[in-house]
Amino acid sequence: MTAAGPSLAERVLAGDPRAIARAISLVEDEQPSGGDLIRRIFGRTGRAHVIGITGPPGAGKSTLVDRLIAEIRREGKTVGVIAVDPTSPFSGGALLGDRVRMGAHAGDGGVFIRSMATRGQLGGLARATSDVALILDAAGKDVIVIETIGVGQDEVDIVRTADLSVVVMVPGTGDEVQALKAGVMEIADLFVVNKADRDGADRLVQAIAANQSLQTFEPGEWRPPILKTVATTGVGVTELWRSIGEFRSHPVDVRRTRQRARQEYRLRELLSRRLLQHLEGALPEGELARVVEAVAARELDPYSAVETLVSRVFGRRRAGLHGPPERP
């Protein structure tokens, strides 16, 4: 525990932008003081409405977010934006683009924008993003928007931290095929066909609708609407914001179930990381490396390796990972 801990937490809770930025850096760098901070502020979270916006590079997500910020501010609400940067050098221009575009809100104290870089560590970004969302939530932001690129597993994990997920697609890019592959149909609460000023927008809407018709919906269940927007001119953005509001006020159970699922996911994730740390710390020096060698040399299978390692740390009787525990 650092001496700066409590005051930083207090400053975050008071909404101090510099404290928010500092707190975000701590969780981004996976500092222990970051975990300490989350512990202090967690009781004051759960109030913000978290919106995830995902879609392929260049789909117009940032332009759309920029428009949404205006809608949110018009209602007098405050907003925090987390723009998750791509790892791919091909979309490296995105960060600058985001800065330039969202820079229009730079002087507005009710808007906090932060870009986050992917570090290439699996799951690390999803974890950091959900912690950043907690910080912005505790800092009193009414709405939190998380922009992520792509439709891969990392994005799905990030989107899992949101109350509502918007999937943005663009006509004439074969997005519909990619979407079906990556299981985006399951995470979308709202589909946006952006760049509707281009040819093929209606075709894409139909393709999504056709896919949706294969899904079964319970009576009263939310059926993700498919909206068309032109982010550059703002066409359809008011309708999008209204739809987001409708989802929010629709079935209370959906949100509650999702929040519970989100907490469970986080808890399990933190737990497995902690247990792995414990195991690594508890094993004799070089033991893990020796077991890895043995598996690599095909002297030991991975299942037995796990059994051996776990029983060495936690004891034989509690270590039955598969099959019944051995008799003492």
Binding positions for Mg ion, rule: CB under 5 A: 61-62, 94, 98
Report if residue 54 touches ligand GTP, rule: CB under 6 A.
no
Contacts of 34-40 with C-beta under 8 Å, sequence gap 24+, read: 34/131, 36/1, 36/2, 36/5, 37/5, 37/8, 37/9, 37/12, 37/135, 38/131, 38/134, 38/135, 40/5, 40/6, 40/9
Given a contact cutoff of 8 angstroms between Cβ atoms, the answer to whether 46 and 158 are in contact is: no
Q: Which does 166 bind (CB under 5 to 8 A by kind): Mg ion, ligand GTP, none?
A: none
Question: Phi and psi dihedrals of 143, rounded to 5?
Answer: -125, 140
CA 265 and chain centroid, separation: 12
Instruction: Tell me 236's DSSP state.
Output: T
Report if residue 140 touches ligand GTP, rule: CB under 6 A.
no
Among 8, 68, 231, 291, binds ligand GTP (CB under 6 A): 231
Among 54, 63, 129, 130, binds ligand GTP (CB under 6 A): 63
Interactions with ligand GTP, residue window 68-127 (CB under 6 A): 91, 94, 97
Report if residue 60 touches ligand GTP, rule: CB under 6 A.
yes
Its sign, for the CA torsion 263, 266, 272, 275, is negative
Smallest separation, CB 199 to ligand GTP (Å): 11
Smallest separation, CB 180 to ligand GTP (Å): 20
Smallest separation, CB 23 to ligand GTP (Å): 24
Among 16, 30, 36, 197, binds ligand GTP (CB under 6 A): 197
Report if residue 57 touches ligand GTP, rule: CB under 6 A.
yes
Report if residue 160 touches ligand GTP, rule: CB under 6 A.
no
Give the CA diameter of the chain. Answer: 72
Nearer to Mg ion, 28 or 98 (CB): 98
Smallest separation, CB 99 to Mg ion (Å): 10
Q: How far is it, in rounded angstroms, from Cα 302 to Cα 288?
A: 12
3-state helix, strand, coil in the chain (%, to 5): 55, 10, 35
Interface with ligand GTP by CB under 6 A: which residues?
55, 57-63, 91, 94, 97, 149, 194-195, 197, 230-232
